[in-house]
């Protein structure tokens, strides 16, 4: 049994439409129909019930769907393993990054693409740490580079990459320019420009200020 008919079968089982499946597979409907018919003949079972223009998986089709998915995954894993043995790394990596940290990621991307030119890399930029966490939990991202999130799902793991202190930025002639440290209470002495309210860092600062009144 060839792998291509299994891929056709899985796609059709996912969308339950010959029209939609053939579009996503970039083949004609007649090619897809013939492939499914030949697969059913080879297996000796009916995989789909056809009622009018609609199709449904049969019980045999549902059972065979799980086997087909596993077979496709196993073959893909085997191919990837052989390529890795030859130091040819492929695959897809989806990374999220908070906007203010993307310069750090850019340096890594250049090194990654040079080391693994056949690997596919996609990057999602966001202003929201919680949005990145949600994308990770929904398997739309492999990992993200962001500030340390709070109150996240137990499904999410985080590893500290770097510790970045919050700094007060002033003109060199400002009275506080000579200070080495600046406390939260000192902010009451001067007018201050803050980050945008929608940014995660701003929300962290607001919570700190509220905590210390």
Report the pLDDT value the prediction gives residue 130, as an integer from 0 to 100.
80
Strands 54-57 and 143-145, sheet pairing: unpaired
Mean pLDDT of 58-65: 92
* Between 86 and 14, residue with greater pLDDT: 14
CATH number for 92-145: choose from 3.30.450.40, 3.40.190.10, 3.40.109.10, 3.30.450.20: 3.40.190.10
Task: Specify the DSSP class assigned to residue 63.
Answer: H
CATH 1.10.10.10 domain span(s) along the chain: 3-85
120 in Cβ contact with 93 (< 8 Å): yes
pLDDT category of residue 153 using cuts at 50, 70 and 90:
low
Three-class secondary structure of residue 168 per DSSP: coil
Running DSSP on this structure, what letter comes out for residue 52? T
Q: What is the SS3 assignment for 173?
A: coil
What is the Cα–Cα distance from 36 to 48, expressed in whole angstroms? 9
Closest residue by Cα to residue 129 from 148, 142, 143 = 148
What was the pLDDT predicted at 60? 93
The mean pLDDT of the chain is 84
The pLDDT, as a whole number, for residue 125 is 85
Angle between helices 59-85 and 3-15 (to 10 degrees): 130
Whether the pLDDT of residue 48 is over 80: the answer is: yes
Q: Which two tokens stand for residue 17?
A: 């439409």
Rg (CA), the chain: 27
Cβ contact 149:130 at 8 Å = yes
Give every CB contact of residue 26 below 8 A, 6+ residues apart in sequence: none
How confident is the model over 168-194, as a mean pLDDT? 85
Structure confidence by residue, pLDDT tens digits, 89-111: 667 889 888 877 777 777 788 88
Q: Where in the chain is the domain with CATH 3.40.190.10?
A: 92-145
Read off the pLDDT of residues 127-149 as tens digits, 9 standing for 90 and up.
778 888 888 888 888 888 887 76
Q: What is the pTM of this model?
A: 0.44
Question: CATH 3.20.20.70: does it fit domain 3-85?
Answer: no
Element (DSSP H or E) covering residue 45: none
């Amino acid at each position: 049994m060839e792998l291509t008919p299994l891929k056709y079968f899985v796609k059709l089982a996912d969308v339950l439409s010959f029209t939609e499946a053939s579009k996503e597979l970039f083949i004609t409907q007649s090619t897809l129909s013939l492939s499914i018919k030949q697969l059913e003949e080879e297996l000796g079972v009916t995989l789909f019930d056809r009622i009018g223009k609609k199709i449904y998986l049969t019980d045999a089709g549902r059972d065979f769907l799980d086997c087909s998915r596993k077979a496709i995954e196993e073959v893909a894993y085997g191919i990837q393993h052989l390529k890795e043995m030859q130091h040819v790394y492929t695959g897809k990596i989806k990374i999220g990054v908070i906007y203010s940290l993307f310069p750090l990621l850019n340096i890594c991307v250049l090194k990654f693409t040079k080391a693994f030119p056949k690997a596919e890399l996609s990057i999602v930029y966001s202003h929201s740490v919680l949005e990145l966490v949600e994308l990770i939990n929904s398997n739309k991202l492999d990992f993200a580079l962001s500030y340390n999130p709070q109150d996240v799902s137990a499904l999410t793991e985080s590893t500290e990459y770097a510790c970045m202190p919050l700094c007060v930025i002033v003109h060199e002639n400002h009275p506080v320019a000579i200070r080495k440290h600046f406390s939260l209470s000192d902010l009451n002495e001067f007018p201050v420009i803050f980050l945008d309210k929608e940014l995660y860092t701003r929300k962290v600062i607001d919570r700190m200020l509220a905590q210390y009144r």
